[in-house]
Chain A
Amino acid sequence: MSDITTFRSATEETPLARRVLIGIAAGGLGLLVFAPLIVVFAAALQQGLAAAIASLGNQDALSAIKLTLIITAISLPLNAAFGIASAWFITKFDFRGKAFLITLIDLPFSVSPVVAGLCIILMFGTNSLVGGWLVASGYPIVFALPGIVLATMFVTFPFVARELIPVMIEQGRTEEEAALTLGASGWRVFLTVTLPNIRWALLYGVLLCNARAMGEFGAVAVVSGKIRGQTATMPITIEMLYNEYLSVAAFSMAAVLALLALVTLLLKTALELRLADQLSASNRH
């Protein structure tokens, strides 16, 4: 009946169940995440480090890396700004249709990136009203940098806002109201109260955004036109190289992309630790 030696809290599993669960989690992670990562690096280095590095040295490869970095550098700050603005708007004001707006922010998560790419082509392609005019004036959007940036921004839009909304809801408005009563202007309140309070969540959102922006394939594939040396980003270049059986080149570039993602992940983990500290500190209120 009452067996004192096997005291166990209600939410705790039996030792066997625990081992099975851990096994499934570790096995899944190893098979689905670690193994592919190792295979990528192995494939990149199959003809030695020199060959791998050499394959990255040509014009097209360098242009792809440069393009991906440029796109990320443009879309990150823009999306951070949009994310802050929409999170601010949603959390600091009461209005009708708020739930609808939150759903709208999530839209890019549920729409296939390919569909997003097609939408951009429909809106800005040469056959559209706007696109035709823009091409005629020498500013093409589709098959050019602006289109790729638009596609990337669409796909990564939710990350920042999604991170900020819960944090801003949790913090409420009173600190900002206090700053206003102390005479601070709205802009000053934003810079000295709002922004410092959301800084870790913001950075976290930006990092997630960064990882996705560098890796986006579907939407970019549709709008970029895959012009080698011009509109081919790293993921696109990898696919093209692979299709041409240039596997060392393909996997070397894939390894670089994976490394960039790993750096992002490391930063994210470091941030998560800080965020946890900060949360536990401010929850003592």
Chain B
Amino acid sequence: MRIEIDEIAKSFGTTAALHPVSFAIPSGALVALLGPSGSGKTTLLRILGGLEFPESGRVMFDGVDATGLSVQDRRAGFVFQSYALFRHMTVFENIGYGLNARPRAARPPKAEITRRVTKLLDLIQLPEIGARYPSQLSGGQRQRVALARALAIEPRMLLLDEPFGALDAKVRRELRQGLRDIHDETGLTTVFVTHDQEEAMELADLVVVMSMGRIEQIGKPQDIRARPATDFVREFITV
């Protein structure tokens, strides 16, 4: 799905989290929102997911205005920075939550839900952990379960907020490849937030460099490396 962000602005009280920003994400792209802490990455991602609403501007999905679309109707697979797994449910119940939450008419039968959850557990390469609770998982496992839970709703896009933030270097690298594979397999338009320039450059098709609520540069990783648009970008990608 093609996403267009048109002059989106958002402030919290007196702090402007996003000055009007505009850019487009081609269908099926894997995009990184890259920037230092407080640059507005999470805010932008939450606006895409419908968890926050902009003060002005429009969000378009496949050319259709989705600015006022409710979070439920956006069908965005959202992976939270802290994973936000339901702590009182098993991994299996976590992943099946979205399917069970559908209105009766659209809800798949129980056997079908079981089949799909099992398939997702295979996809994240954790087929054995369905009966466990989130507190019994490692950080990397939690992250993958959160991804599977987001994929279960057959989302129109995938939004990830610092998906590898709290993990050690080795697990990060593994999961990075995992995300790339899942993206290539599903073809979902995917936006992930990171403040790690190496991660953005390595993983993304398109990198959006942000600073203080503004977009500094948008481009392919190699183009940004070769021709940083501003001093800020040059400095940020060389650290």
Contact = CB atoms under 8 A, between A and B. Distances in A.
Interface of A: 174-175, 177-185, 188, 192-193, 196-197, 281-282, 284-285
B74 to A, nearest CB: 8
Contacts of B75: 183
Contact of B97 (A174, A184, A285): A184
A174 B82 contact: yes
Summarize A's interface: helix, strand, loop or mixed: helix
Interface in B68-126: 71-72, 74-78, 80, 82, 84-88, 97-98, 101-102
Q: Which of A174, A193, A196, A281 has the most CB of B within 10 A?
A: A174
The 5 closest A-B pairs by CB, nearest first: A182-B98, A174-B84, A184-B101, A181-B78, A178-B84
Given A284-B135, A285-B135, A179 B86 contact: yes
A181 B86 CA distance: 13
A285 B102 contact: no
B49 A181 contact: yes
B51 A180 contact: yes
Nearest to B142: A285
B195 interface: no
B149 to A, nearest CB: 7
Contacts of B85: 175, 178
Contacts of A178: 78, 80, 84-86, 149
A183 B84 contact: no
Contacts of B153: 182-183
Contacts of A281: 135
Q: Which of B50, B74, B98 has the most CB of A within 10 A?
A: B98
B180 to A, nearest CB: 22
Contacts of B101: 179, 182-185, 188, 192
B14 to A, nearest CB: 14
A168 B109 CA distance: 34
B135 A175 contact: no
Contacts of A192: 86, 97, 101
A184 B49 CA distance: 14
B80 A183 contact: no
Nearest to B82: A174
Nearest to A180: B71
A282 B50 CA distance: 28
B87 A181 contact: no
B134 interface: yes
B134 to A, nearest CB: 7
Nearest to A185: B72
